[in-house]
Amino acid sequence: VLERLAEINPQAEIWWDSSPLIYQSWVEEMLKEAKEEDREIMKRQFTRLYNPDKPEETLFRGVTTNPPLCLNVFKIHGDYWAEFVDGLIEKNPGIDKENLFWMTYKEIVKRGAQMYLGVFEKSNHKYGYISAQVDPREIYNEEKMLEQAKELASLSPNVMIKIPGSKEGYRIIKVLTSMGIATNNTLAFTIPQFLAGANAVKEGLEIAKKNGVDLTRWRSVITDMSARYGDLGGLAKKAEEKGIELSEVDVRWAELAIFKKAYKLVKERNYPSKMLLCSMRISPPINGKPIASWHV
């Protein structure tokens, strides 16, 4: 399916949605659960998705992470990272848990970014970015988000900063863009948010160009957390208030309509951002198939 998607549109980008540090463990787990006769072809498919020896052939063109996703690194490689954390505590007597978390998170981001540097360099900085998110708890704290964004961006040239879709977040996106730092607008669900993000990027880019800022490592994506709109966006509650009964199919069509509208507006208005679709679901069944993604 992913191969067909890539063939249909050469500009399509399929990203790995977790830390690259757990990819090999995930592959091993999938192979363990597979039938013996399927394992060889699955090995080739997994190598096609991510091949560190031939980055130009890697199907995954980017990575998106956040602090909760990086928790999986601890779950899978707990012993190693427990020792790493102990080392930080030993080197930094009296360190509090917040700084300990942040230092560990940055190390996970840095190592993940290094795994995709080959893709980044082979594509002339077009692909191979890893999105690293500022602390989600600081969604309304401009000063803290900017401080964290700068720290994350300094870890590797292919680190893209995930900033939430709050009023404060959009101001930070404008500032980061004006500095030539790549951004990913996350925690966004609606057309007004997408347009606010696109405008922030456009304005920041104009400032960067005016000031002669180096843009060789810059790009912008706007993430539509599609199914989160149906799950968390209050759609069901609003429908109930108006006496409308929504089926799961109705919700899926609503999510798709939002993404299509956003994509159309970004293209029509020549915004420099690219829409990224995530939070996809595999229900309800399509044409009798029990597992099928409406969003794909």
**Catalytic positions, please?**
162
Q: Are 46 and 30 in contact (CB under 8 A)?
A: yes
Q: Which of 103, 93, 47, 97 is nearest to 70 (CA)?
A: 103
DSSP 17: -
Residue by residue, DSSP assigns 79-139 as: HHHHHHHHHHHHHSTT--HHHHHHHHHHHHHHHHHHHTHHHHHHTTTSS-EEEEEPPGGGT
- Going by C-beta distance under 8 Å and a sequence separation of 6 or more, which residues neighbour residue 155? 106, 109, 110, 113, 132
Q: Note the Cα 225 to chain centre separation in Å.
A: 10
226 by Cβ neighbours in 10 Å (0-12 / 13-18 / 19+) ranks as buried
- Alpha carbon distance, N-terminus to C-terminus of the chain: 9
- Going by C-beta distance under 8 Å and a sequence separation of 6 or more, which residues neighbour residue 126? 219
